[in-house]
Chains A and B, each alone.
Chain A
Amino acid sequence: MAISPELPDNTLTMAEKHAIPIDILSDVTSEVLKKYRLWFAVPGEVKTLYLEKFGLNLEKHNGAGRWELPVPATFVLDQDGIVRAGEADPDYTVRMEPSDIVAAIRKIAGKHSM
């Protein structure tokens, strides 16, 4: 499952939406971002940089007044909903290694089959 603060994407056709094999979820109130302790308000100088240098207006994607984002994060949950592996890095250019995600799932699956 993937979660962002963005409004639902209206650029995809229904066929495209059905072709995506995972859930792309919209947290339009940031309630879940906050529950997972990932939410932050974009600081003023970063907002100015995005607007003036990158041509990026977050309100167009997230809705009016929503200059807010999550720390990018990945959590691998076992069937009881317990976090067994994960990463959340304030440096938004860093992501959890896909091979570590696969290894964590395998470990959980192994435990359940025993």
Chain B
Amino acid sequence: MEMSLKGRLAEFDASRKRPPEVVAIIRRGIDYVMESGAAGLRIGERAPDFTLPNQRGEMVSLRDRLSSGPVVLNFYRGVW
């Protein structure tokens, strides 16, 4: 069976072999975010509507996209 994405990501992270002082800063950063309460929407909650520009500069609303079916929303940090 093909390895899960979680497994592959864990393997990649380990392969970076970051120095312990760097790992410690990253770890404290993650703890900080955890304590800040940024935990996202809960299952069963209604997703707030929004309108944002897409890669072609067109304004896209969640409500409009939902009218044609279920939507997968992915929040990512950036292309870097």
Taking the closest CB of chain B, its distance from the CB of A71, in whole angstroms, is: 5
Question: How many angstroms between the C-alpha atoms of A33 and B74 in the bound complex?
Answer: 11
- Does the CB pair A81–B49 fall under 8 Å? yes
Question: How many angstroms between the C-alpha atoms of A70 and B54 in the bound complex?
Answer: 18
What does the 1/0 interface line of A74-91 toward B look like (CB < 8 Å)? Answer: 111111111111101011
- Does the CB pair A3–B54 fall under 8 Å? no
Q: How large is the interface on A (under 10, 10 to 19, 20 to 34, 35 or more residues)?
A: 35 or more
- Does the CB pair A69–B30 fall under 8 Å? no
Indicate if B17 sits at the interface (CB-CB under 8 A).
Answer: no
Indicate if B20 sits at the interface (CB-CB under 8 A).
Answer: no
What residues of B have a CB within 8 angstroms of the CB of A61 in the complex? 78-80
Within 8 A of A (CB), among B26-77: 26, 28-30, 32-34, 36-50, 52-57, 60, 62-63, 65-67, 69-77
Within 8 A of B (CB), among A39-89: 39-40, 42-43, 45-46, 49, 53, 56, 58, 61-62, 69-86, 88
What residues of B have a CB within 8 angstroms of the CB of A99 in the complex? 4
Taking the closest CB of chain A, its distance from the CB of B4, in whole angstroms, is: 6
Most buried by B among A79, A84, A85: A79
A3-B73, A37-B41 are known contacts. Are A18 and B48 too (CB-CB below 8 A)?
Answer: no
- Select from chain A the residue with minimum beta-carbon distance to B65: A1
- 9 closest residue pairs by CB, A with B: A88-B40, A90-B33, A46-B29, A25-B52, A23-B54, A24-B55, A35-B48, A73-B75, A70-B75
A interface residues (Cβ-Cβ under 8 A, vs B): 1-6, 8-9, 12, 14, 17-18, 20, 23-27, 31-33, 35-40, 42-43, 45-46, 49, 53, 56, 58, 61-62, 69-86, 88, 90-95, 97-99, 101, 105, 108-109
